[in-house]
């Protein structure tokens, strides 16, 4: 998706200049896809041609129930036959012109895996209870960039025809990416750590043959990667045609392209809330309406790249002006809400105090049976045995156990309430 960008007066950290009018507010999608970037004269010197932005990867967990076991039984039967051969996969289903291949092996959480292109479906025969999903969808770069939401809807409708009922949905991971066509990463000085202001403790530049190819900040639940997209595409010929069309160029390497990509996972997504809209980004619909706010938080609050080395000695980080490039990055136009609040859970009980209480109780229990206080192995073993037996006895009444565990969790971790 092409987008036009002009620096917003609200986000500028340097003396303001008259900004060119934005072109995306009311233009139809086809017109926006043809629009070139609008920017002030200083930014034109970066040789920026266009900006393409989009979701580059999506992982969604579902809890589903089956009115009929036929679908799972077909996969079980086919997987059994497949494992009697040396093949790695076998065509199992067809839907919307896609041929889903059943994989020879599953994972430790999902027994059956279906693949079609860069889309992966993972199934488990377990019941849709608790915090563990029994179905997962993973959509890779090519499909995410071209027909993400259509693919998700097609998969859901296909499974519903096989008598699946969708009970709950949770976005597990999303990658938000913006490609800056015409910008060479080697001219930006992004490998200079002293120009970055960010909330992560990890910063890594990456080189190939002594040439900068990218930098990464953070990892896992929250991470930023800035890299040379053309260099990456040279290793993936199957992607070159798609991105050539998305970028509207004759060849994928016609211009240098710098990608800015954020990775957000479930532990972070559930911390964003809106008073009227959501308490955590849970569903795909909520994600769709949160893209603008998430990008704004990522590029302004979580990290930013300054024009000059940051004066940390005098604690003047907040006074640092954004670089010209980062002004454009932070103003990339996404859809959805303008702002979300990120609020981390507050611990209302001290785990060290709780462990201290448990130690005292275990010692009291062991004192009934162990007469020699130096027999630490026997004391530990006896304590473990009693606690395990009691917990398993409670778990025999599973609904009551889950209710009590949820209550305990609410006592320990309570999300802050925005007033």
What 3 state SS string does 213-255 have?
Answer: EEEEEEECCEEEEEEEHHHHHCCCHHHHHHHHHHHCCCCCCCC
Asked if 32 contacts 164 with a C-beta cutoff of 8 angstroms, the reply is no
Asked if 291 contacts 340 with a C-beta cutoff of 8 angstroms, the reply is no
Q: Provide the percentage of residues in the chain whose pLDDT is more than 70.
A: 84
Do residues 326 and 225 share a domain? Answer: yes
The 10 Å CB-count burial string (b at 16+, else e) for 233-244 is beeeeebeebbb
Compute the radius of gyration of the chain from its Cα atoms: 26
**Mean pLDDT, the chain, integer:** 84
Distances (CA, A) of 356 to 346, 359, 361: 21, 5, 9
The DSSP element (H or E) to which 25 belongs, if any, is: none
For CA atoms 296, 192, 323, 321, the dihedral sign is positive
* DSSP secondary structure letter of residue 307: S
Do residues 308 and 400 share a domain? Answer: no
Report whether pLDDT(148) > 80: yes
Residue 180 covered by a domain: yes
Report whether pLDDT(139) > 80: yes
98-127: pLDDT as tens digits? 899 999 999 999 999 999 999 999 999 999
Range of the domain at 357: 347-414
Do residues 364 and 262 share a domain? Answer: no
Do residues 371 and 329 share a domain? Answer: no
pTM score over 0.75: no
Do residues 48 and 94 share a domain? Answer: no
Residue 102 covered by a domain: yes
Chain length of the chain: 419
Do residues 219 and 233 share a domain? Answer: yes
Helix residue ranges per DSSP H, 331-397: 351-367, 376-395
Residue 63 covered by a domain: no
Domain boundary residue among 299, 319, 342?
A: 342
Domain boundary residue among 296, 313, 342?
A: 342
Give, in degrees to the nearest 5, the angle at Cα 291 between 288 and 292: 130
Q: Provide the percentage of residues in the chain whose pLDDT is more than 90.
A: 57
Domain boundary residue among 342, 375, 393?
A: 342
Q: How many domains does the chain have?
A: 3
Do residues 81 and 17 share a domain? Answer: no
Report whether pLDDT(279) > 70: yes
Helix residue ranges per DSSP H, 6-69: 29-34, 41-44
CA atoms within 13 A on the CB side of 92: 26
Do residues 387 and 309 share a domain? Answer: no
* Residue 6: pLDDT band with limits 50, 70, 90: very low
Alpha carbon distance 44, 37 (integer Å):
9
Asked if 5 contacts 295 with a C-beta cutoff of 8 angstroms, the reply is no
Report whether pLDDT(11) > 60: no
Q: Which of 193, 241, 202 is nearest to 221 (CA)?
A: 202
């Amino acid at each position: 998706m092409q987008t036009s960008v002009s620096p917003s007066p609200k986000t500028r950290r340097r003396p303001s200049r008259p900004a060119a009018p934005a072109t995306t507010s009311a233009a139809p999608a086809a017109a926006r896809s043809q629009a070139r970037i609008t920017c002030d004269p200083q930014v034109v010197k970066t040789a920026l041609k266009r900006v393409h932005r989009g979701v580059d990867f999506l992982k969604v967990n579902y809890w589903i129930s089956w009115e009929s076991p036929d679908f799972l039984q077909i996969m079980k039967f086919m997987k059994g036959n497949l494992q009697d051969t040396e093949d790695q996969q076998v065509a199992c289903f067809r839907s919307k012109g896609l041929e889903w291949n059943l994989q020879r092996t599953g994972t430790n959480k999902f027994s059956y895996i279906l693949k079609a292109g860069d889309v992966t479906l993972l199934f488990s025969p377990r019941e849709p209870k608790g915090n563990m999903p029994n179905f997962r969808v993973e959509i890779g770069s090519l499909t995410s960039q071209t027909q993400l939401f259509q693919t998700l809807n097609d998969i859901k409708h296909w499974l519903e025809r096989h008598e699946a009922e969708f009970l709950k949905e949770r976005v597990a991971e999303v990658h938000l990416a913006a490609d800056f066509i015409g910008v060479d990463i080697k001219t930006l000085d992004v490998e200079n750590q002293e120009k970055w202001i960010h909330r992560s403790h990890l910063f890594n530049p990456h080189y190939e043959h002594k040439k900068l190819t990218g930098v990464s900040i953070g990892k896992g639940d929250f991470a930023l990667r800035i890299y040379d997209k053309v260099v990456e595409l040279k290793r993936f010929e199957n992607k070159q045609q798609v991105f050539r069309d998305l970028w509207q160029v004759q060849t994928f390497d016609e211009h240098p392209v710098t990608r800015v990509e954020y990775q957000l996972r479930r532990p972070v997504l559930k911390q964003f809330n809106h008073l009227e809209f959501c308490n955590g980004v849970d569903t795909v619909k909520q994600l769709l309406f949160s893209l603008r706010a998430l990008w704004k938080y990522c590029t302004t609050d979580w990290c930013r790249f300054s024009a000059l080395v940051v004066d940390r000695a005098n604690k003047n980080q907040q006074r640092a002006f954004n670089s010209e490039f980062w002004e454009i990055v932070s103003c990339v136009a996404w859809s959805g809400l303008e702002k979300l609040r990120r609020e981390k859970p507050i611990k209302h009980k001290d785990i060290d105090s709780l462990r201290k209480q448990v130690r005292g109780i275990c010692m009291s229990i062991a004192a009934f049976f162990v007469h020699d206080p130096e027999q630490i192995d026997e004391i530990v073993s006896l304590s473990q045995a009693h606690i395990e037996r009691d917990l398993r006895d409670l778990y025999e009444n599973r609904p009551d156990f889950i209710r009590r565990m949820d209550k305990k969790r609410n006592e320990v971790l309570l999300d802050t309430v925005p007033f």
